[in-house]
Amino acid sequence: MHLPHQRGPLHDLPDTPEAYDAVLADVTEQALARMTPEGNLEHPDCADDIGDTSLGITSLLALAWQRTKDPRLPEAVRRSLAFHLDERVYTEDNPGYPNLRVRNSGLPYARYTLAAGAHPIGDWPSTVWALLQSVNVLDAADGLVDDAQRARLLDVAHGYWRWLTKATFFNPQEAGNQAIGCVVGGLMLARHLPSAEGDPVRREALRLYQDEIRAHRVRDRGALLPPEHGGAYDNNYGPISLSFLAQAHRVSGEEVFAEDGDALARYIDARLTNGGFDNGGPRYSEQHSAFESVLGLRYFSARIGSDLGRYRGDSRWARHAVKADGGVDGHFAWMLVWQIQDTTPWHRAPSTAAARHHLRAGTVSVAFDDRMTPSVIEAGGTYYLAAAVNRQHGFGPVTDGFLLCRPMGEVRVRDVRAGGLAAKLVTQPVVGRDHVLRHVRSLYVTDGTSLWTTVAVERLDGTPYLLAGMPYAEDDGDRVRRTAEPRVTSAGTLRLTHPGPDGPHHFDARAATTQEQAAFALALDPRGYGNPDEGWRHLVTSTAIEAGPAPGAPEDLHVFAVRYGRDDSAFTPGFERDGTVLTVRTEAFTAVIGDAAGGADAEPELTLGR
C-alpha cells in the first residue's frame, strides 16, 4: 500500500506565470459553470470548513481578472461577493460556541458548518480564513467592484478582526498556523483602513504575535517553534505556519517574521529526509499539505539556502483544495493567491553547512530527535523509523530488555567531512537498570549512497543487541510505499523481528496500517483531535532490526556495526583500541574516535579518512 498523503516533492510543480494562468483558467471555468443564481460558488459536497469557501473562489476569480481581464469575471465577482455578504456573514452568537469573551457582540464571524450549534468549535479558524479571503478580494477590488460593495466588504472584514481579537479568546485551539494567519489578516486589513483605524489594527496584530504567539513558542531540536495544537511541530501544519510567516514578512517588512521563519525553516530542513519524507505531529502524523506550504517553503528555501522544496506534498491538493470528485474548493484559496503573487524561485541545492540534528549527503540522511537519537534514517530509498521494545523507543544498544538511548547528561556532537564522506559522532551518557553510567558513542558515516553506523559502549551483561530501527516505507516513483523489508547488513548477527501479540500496542510493519492510523488508535482523543505523537509513545513493541555485537571488538567494549543501503557485499569492519581511542576500519573509511573527555575542551574527537 502507498502512504495516502506523501507524494511528489513540491518543487516539481511548475510555477511559471503560464502554469499559474492555466490553473486560474481551470478555476474560472469550474466556477462559472457551478455558480448558482444566488451567486454561490461553494462545492456542492461542501459541509464543513464552508464559511469562507465561496469567497475564496471569488478571490481567485478576482486575481484571474487582474491577470487576464476576462470580461466574464467582473459580474461573477460581484454576484459571488454579494452572496457571501448576504448569506455567509453571521452576527448572532452560534449556540454552544465555548470561546466567547463577549456575548451578543453583533460582530460578524464565519461558521465552520452552517447549521446553528452543529460544530461551533471551528468558527474561530473559519473566521480567520474568511478575513484572509476578504483582504485578498479587497486587494483586487479596484475597477472590479463598486464603491458601495467594497465599503461593505471592508466593514465586514474589520468586523471579522474585532470578533477574532475582542469577542473571543485569541487562538483557542492553540494552533500556530491559525494564530499567525489571524495576524496576517490584521496586517493586510490595516492597509485598507484609514490610518486612524488601520494603525491600531497593525499595532494590535504585531502585539498579538509577540505576546500570544512568539512568547509561547516551544523548543524542539534546538529551535523555538510556534506551538501547533499543543505540540512543538506538526508536519502538516508546520509548513503552513511557514507560509503565514512568509506572507507576514512580505506585507509588513517586520524582521521578526523573517527571523522566526528562518528558524522554523532550518528546523524543517533538519527533520526532512533527502526524499522529503517526514512523520510526526500533535494533530496529524503523515498528512502532508501541498499548495498551502509552497509559499513558505519556497520563500524560506531562498533565505536559508537549502532545498526545502523536497518536502513531499499531497498532489491531490497540488494547486488548490479539491473535493473527492476533483472539483475545486475555495478552502485556503489565499495561499494560491499569495504564491502566485510571490515570484521567489526555489533554492534547489542542499545546504552544505553542518547541522546538529541532521546528517545529509547524496541520497542518505539521518534526522535526529531532541536526544540526538535518530528519528528517521533514509538509505537506499528506504525509510527507517525508531523501533519500540518494552515501551522504549529509539535506536541504540539493548541489554535485558533495556534500551540505552536516553541521555542522563550532556550529549556531545562532532561533525566531520573529508574525502567525499560525511560523518557525525554522537556521545550520550546513559544509565542502565544497574545504575552504572556508560558512554554510548554512535558514529554515522555516509558516502551519499550507503550509511555506516557504529555504536560502541562499555561491555554489557547478557546478550545485548543494537535496536537498529524499523523498516517502514520506501520510495516508489512519485509515491511512498509501505514496506517491512530492510536493506541492512550487519557485522554481527542480524534479525528482523515482529511483535507477537495482536492489538493496537504492537505495530507489525507487515500489516496494511500506517503509522498515523496506529498512533491515532492509541491517542486519548478521537482521530483529528487526539495527539498521534503522544499516542505513538504508548506503543509497546514494533517490528525491529536487531543487530548482534560485531566480532573482533576490544574485550572491554561491545561494538555494533550496521550498514544501511543497497550494498549486499560482505561487511567485516575491524576495530582497534589504544587507550581511550577507538579506530574503526571498513571497506569505505577509517575513523578514529576519541574519548568524550579526550580533548582540552572535553569534546569528543573524530578524524575520518579513506
Q: Alpha helix (H) ranges present in 411-559? A: 515-522, 532-536
Spatial CB neighbours of 241, under 8 Å, sequence gap ≥ 6: 176, 177, 180, 226, 228, 264, 296
- Mean pLDDT for back-to-back runs of 10 residues, the chain (610 residues): 95 96 98 98 96 98 97 97 98 97 98 96 97 98 95 98 98 96 98 98 98 96 93 93 98 98 98 96 93 98 98 95 96 98 97 95 97 97 98 97 95 95 97 94 98 97 96 95 97 96 94 95 90 95 98 96 94 93 96 71 86
H or E segment at 366? strand 364-368
Cα–Cα distance list, 254 to 225, 240, 260, 304, 477 (Å):
18, 19, 11, 17, 41
Type of residue numbered 5 = H
Nearest to 276 by CA among 5, 593, 558, 591: 5
DSSP letter at 212? I
Record the pTM: 0.97
Q: How many CB atoms lie within 10 A of CB 33?
A: 8
Q: Nearest 5 degrees, angle CA 395-CA 400-CA 406?
A: 40
User: How many Å apart are CA 366 and CA 379, to the nearest integer?
Assistant: 9
Spatial CB neighbours of 23, under 8 Å, sequence gap ≥ 6: 319, 320, 336
Nearest to 456 by CA among 592, 304, 571: 592
DSSP letter at 209? I
Burial class (CB in 10 A: 0-12, 13-18, 19+), 290: buried
DSSP secondary structure letters along 302-341: HHHTS-GGGSB--GGGSSS-B-TTS-B--TTHHHHHHHHH
User: What was the pLDDT predicted at 599?
Assistant: 53
User: What was the pLDDT predicted at 530?
Assistant: 87
Long-range contacts of 389-393 (CB under 8 A, 24+ apart): 389/467, 389/541, 389/542, 389/544, 390/540, 390/541, 391/538, 391/539, 391/540, 393/536, 393/537, 393/539
User: What was the pLDDT predicted at 600?
Assistant: 64
Nearest to 455 by CA among 584, 277, 303, 602: 584
Type of residue numbered 29 = E
Type of residue numbered 571 = F
User: How many Å apart are CA 95 and CA 221, to the nearest integer?
Assistant: 42
Residue found by looking up cell 448572532 in the block: 92
User: What was the pLDDT predicted at 580?
Assistant: 86
H or E segment at 257? helix 255-271
User: How many Å apart are CA 268 and CA 403, to the nearest integer?
Assistant: 28
Beta carbons of 131 and 164 less than 8 angstroms apart: yes
